[in-house]
């Protein structure tokens, strides 16, 4: 039975949101070569975004922005941020993307109306069961212009949560409010299959606790491409085996034809010149004596019974070959062989294209890994420099004032106003804890 697929990934910044919009709406992608732009008109839109994700995001988060602006009125000027900078600097996501699909065999033979019904049922699961309000869904679309139909749902997980400091409910963006961890994600996937079955859609859940990692949308598509490639290679092997069998059948028929041809004289066959000709005998009577016998050679050739039999065999063999040839031309064997050859050529070409695409994706993945590694090294260098600055600052105040601890604390406080929870502040807190621990040991 075909398996249901449900994935969710976070969207960190409004810049990322814009990029995802280009893929989902404009069908522009540098990494996905599966998009067939000529079929994009077949895509099924369940909720339109008006052509721009960021414009929809501003509409959905308008109340959150008002809340932020009010908060900034009572915030120290040095700590004030614009709404745009605030949400992009936060560790939490600005939105999330659900990807829902099924293994390819489910969609085989399905009409567009049946696929749309599956998609609407899936969208209902997100809004009714997971709990994301429909008004907070930016866009919902089924992509029919790729190998396997799949539903993208981009939403802002906007909720009201109790703020202990303010003693009231406040608006916040929180994906974890709806799906807290992997265990809850596994339960959501199970509930999704149950929801589909309740609505007459017969799909089964993938294996639970299989050790498979939860994949974001891009990596999921890469994995599916690799699966398609493996399946194609298996099918290609079967077709090549079938093609070999058909070629062997053709070779067998060719051998039979060759044997029949051996019984037929070649095209330059000529009867022997010394074959006897028919002799016409004419008796011419005379008045006196014996009649005169006149023998005249005609154009007709005389065959012996053995020669006649040989000729009959050769003619019959030629007729048999002609009939076999005509019969073969009217059967599917030749056509099937031609089709199989074309299929093999097309499959090999598609195979090479998929392998090329996977190599490209792997290269991009390696580039991203290298970039992450470089950034980690740079962060490590910066932390080392900050540590040196902190140590130098502390030594500077210690050498010039008796109340150096207060001066260090004030200096750290000034730095923290511009970079709250920064590495400089963390070093200071760590140093204070060490001093406290040393004091307790004494």
pLDDT digit string (tens) for 254-294?
A: 676 666 656 555 555 555 556 677 778 787 777 777 777 77
pTM value is 0.51
> Phi and psi of 393, rounded to 5°?
-60, -45
Using alpha carbons, list the distances in angstroms from residue 76 to 163, 290, 410, 418: 20, 156, 17, 11
Report residue 317 as tokens.
Answer: 């063999």
What are the tens digits of pLDDT across the range 128-159?
Answer: 999 999 999 999 999 998 888 999 999 999 99
Q: Which helix (H) or strand (E) holds 373?
A: helix 332-400
pLDDT at residue number 47: 93
pLDDT at residue number 190: 93
pLDDT at residue number 383: 73
Q: State which residues of the chain have pLDDT below 50.
A: 211-215, 442
Q: Which residue has the tokens 């893929």?
A: 23
397 in Cβ contact with 407 (< 8 Å): yes
297 in Cβ contact with 279 (< 8 Å): yes
In the sheet with 44-47, reading across from the earlier edge strand, the strands are: 4-11, 95-102, 150-155, 137-143, 44-47
pLDDT at residue number 62: 93
Say which DSSP state 128 is in: I
150 in Cβ contact with 65 (< 8 Å): no
Report the C-alpha gap between 380 and 98 in whole angstroms: 35
pLDDT at residue number 213: 47
Report the C-alpha gap between 10 and 56 in whole angstroms: 17
pLDDT at residue number 254: 67
pLDDT at residue number 211: 47
């Amino acid at each position: 039975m075909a398996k249901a697929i449900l994935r969710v990934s976070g969207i960190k910044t409004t810049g990322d949101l814009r990029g995802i919009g280009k893929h989902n709406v404009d069908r522009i992608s540098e990494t996905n070569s599966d998009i067939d732009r000529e079929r994009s008109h077949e895509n099924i839109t369940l909720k339109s975004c008006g052509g721009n994700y960021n414009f929809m995001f501003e509409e959905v988060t308008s109340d959150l922005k008002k809340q932020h602006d009010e908060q900034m009125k009572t915030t120290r000027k040095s700590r004030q941020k614009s709404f745009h900078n605030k949400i992009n600097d936060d560790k939490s996501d600005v939105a999330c993307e659900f990807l829902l699909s099924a293994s390819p065999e489910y969609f085989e033979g399905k009409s567009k109306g049946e696929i749309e019904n599956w998609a609407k049922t899936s969208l209902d699961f997100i809004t009714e069961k997971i709990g994301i309000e429909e008004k907070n869904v930016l866009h919902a679309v089924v992509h029919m212009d790729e190998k396997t139909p799949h539903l993208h749902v981009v939403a802002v997980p906007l909720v009201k949560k109790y703020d202990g400091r303010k003693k009231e409910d406040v608006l916040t963006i929180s994906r974890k409010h709806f799906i807290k961890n992997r265990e809850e994600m596994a339960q959501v996937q199970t509930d999704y299959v149950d929801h589909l079955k309740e609505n007459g859609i017969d799909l089964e859940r993938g294996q639970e606790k299989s050790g498979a990692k939860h994949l974001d949308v891009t990596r999921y598509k890469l994995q599916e491409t690799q699966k398609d490639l493996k399946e194609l290679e298996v099918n290609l092997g079967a077709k090549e085996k079938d093609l070999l069998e058909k070629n062997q059948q053709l070779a067998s028929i060719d051998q039979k034809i060759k044997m029949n041809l051996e019984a037929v004289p070649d095209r330059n066959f000529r009867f022997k010149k010394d074959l006897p000709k028919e002799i016409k005998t004419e008796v011419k009577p005379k008045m006196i004596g014996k009649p005169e016998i006149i023998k005249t050679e005609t154009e007709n050739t005389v065959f012996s019974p053995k020669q006649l039999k040989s000729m009959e065999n050769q003619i019959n063999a030629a007729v048999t070959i002609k009939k076999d040839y005509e019969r073969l031309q009217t059967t599917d064997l030749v056509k099937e062989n031609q089709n199989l050859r074309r299929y093999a050529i097309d499959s090999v070409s598609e195979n090479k294209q998929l392998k090329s695409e996977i190599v490209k994706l792997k290269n991009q993945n390696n580039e991203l890994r290298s970039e992450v590694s470089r950034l980690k090294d740079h962060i490590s260098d910066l932390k080392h420099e900050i540590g040196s600055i902190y140590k130098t600052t502390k030594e500077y105040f210690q050498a010039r004032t008796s109340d150096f601890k207060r001066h260090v604390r004030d200096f750290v406080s000034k730095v923290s106003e511009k970079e709250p929870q920064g590495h400089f502040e963390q070093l200071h807190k760590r140093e204070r804890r060490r001093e406290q621990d040393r004091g307790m040991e004494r």
